[in-house]
Structure 1
Amino acid sequence: MSNTPYPDRPSPRPVGKRRVPAFFGLLWRYAVVGFAWPLTTAIVWLHNRLHVPKWMGGDLREFGVRLWGLSWLTFVWVLLWGDVTWGNIIVGALVGAAIMLLLPLPRVPVEGRIHPIAAMNLLFNLLWNFLLSSAQVAWAAIRPGAPPLGVVVRVHLAIKSDMVLTLAIDYINLVPGTMVVEVDHLRRILYVHVFDVRTQKQVDSFHQQMAYVERQFIKTFERDSEWQPSPFHGIDDDFHHVPFTERQRVADATPPARHRRRKER
């Protein structure tokens, strides 16, 4: 005779994760311990001990940017010829290296640190704004009534790095219906032409969208806790033309994660 009070009922399943989620959970832990941590340790070790020549940038971050520029010029050369061969790749690399050495552009300091998850969120937001703005521009072009009214809106971004500011401007220009027509570099002010704006509510909505883009770029590239000024820049905020109060404004506009979860519930 069974000791259980209800012998006909199946025994309860033990509390815990199922086999498949438990397997992937262990796999993730093993990947972090066995791959990500040794890779991070190796990168830090190389950064502290590897000496990068000045003609290569003098720093691993600068070297990475120059290597990316060389790769991009090589890719453009191969696209121009329209045939992927080893000869075109080698010649493209030589032409790209000659352009970077003989016709160098002004130095763009690499500062801060990129966060992949935040960057993916920024990319998905760009794709969504691209689709939404394309539909709005298409509807404004075919709808009956008065022609669209365009305005120029002044936007202030609390972004310190020139490279990140350039990426933010490219982000705005890629979205249909918006175009940066002038940049006040000293005061970090953008003058953006916005397509079909008729009410103050639409202007306020555009300012809210720009504030969100500002927070996402700071969260992705230049968080204050991880900011590392380049050797080509000073270390004071006045050099970057971004007062502390403006950065604090962005930080205060971002609610804590706990508050966001409570609000979503």
Structure 2
Amino acid sequence: MSRDAAEFGIVTSRYAVFYAPSPDSALWAFGSGLIGYDAESGASLPCPEGLPCPPAEWRALTEEPRRYGFHGTLKAPFSLAGGSADSDLVTAARDFASGRSAFDLPGLDVVTIGAFTALAPTSRSNALEDLAADSVRAFEPFRAPLSAADRERRLRAPLSGRQIGHLDRWGYPYVFDEFRFHMTLTGPLPDRLREPVRASLQQRYAALRPGLRVDAVAIFRQPDRAGPFRVLARLPFGGPPVSYISPGRPPPAAS
């Protein structure tokens, strides 16, 4: 919950437009297993074996991506603008997805970005960049203005003047020319673990090599800032949604 809302005792849900692999895919199992959370079912997952650090440390290092679920950002998390309901957002996402066609990325690698580890495309994709840019614009009417507390939090990171301009206009600094698609696998890692973790996860991914077919967008919902995001709806390109989770439906008990 933002400080602005907390002062008035208001619980504010947040939403995001993400790419999420199909929940029955090898890629979803790979990413969700590493972060220890399945955002489709809401279930906690056991720590994988054979990682270059103890399970307790791994749980701590993946705390941040676990809160968001395995995903690639298209429209960063936002609170709904006044007068909008999550059903309106899902309807708009269905319309957005119905006119798009699926595409494949040439490949993914495990890379280090700053201090964290992620899956990222091996080369640029115009189709992916267009999808992200279109998502930023199409869902902007649903985004409530950025709170003062959230803007202050974003400004703690070193941002260029252009990134600050994106932040103030779109609520997120890394859009359009600043966009870099990635699917986060860890939070910030200490120096001693960055290369061992990257190499270990790359080896796991290379054994799997599931590829990446972009064939849907997903609406994720976070009930409050302390809770994890869950898949609210997954909207396949060219068709109707295959799943919809009512905001009132509780997640299953943690395993």
| TM-score, length of structure 2 as denominator length | 0.23
Structure index of larger Rg: 1
Structure with the larger helix share: 1
What TM-score, normalized by structure 1, do the two folds share?
Answer: 0.22
Q: More strand by proportion, 1 or 2?
A: 2
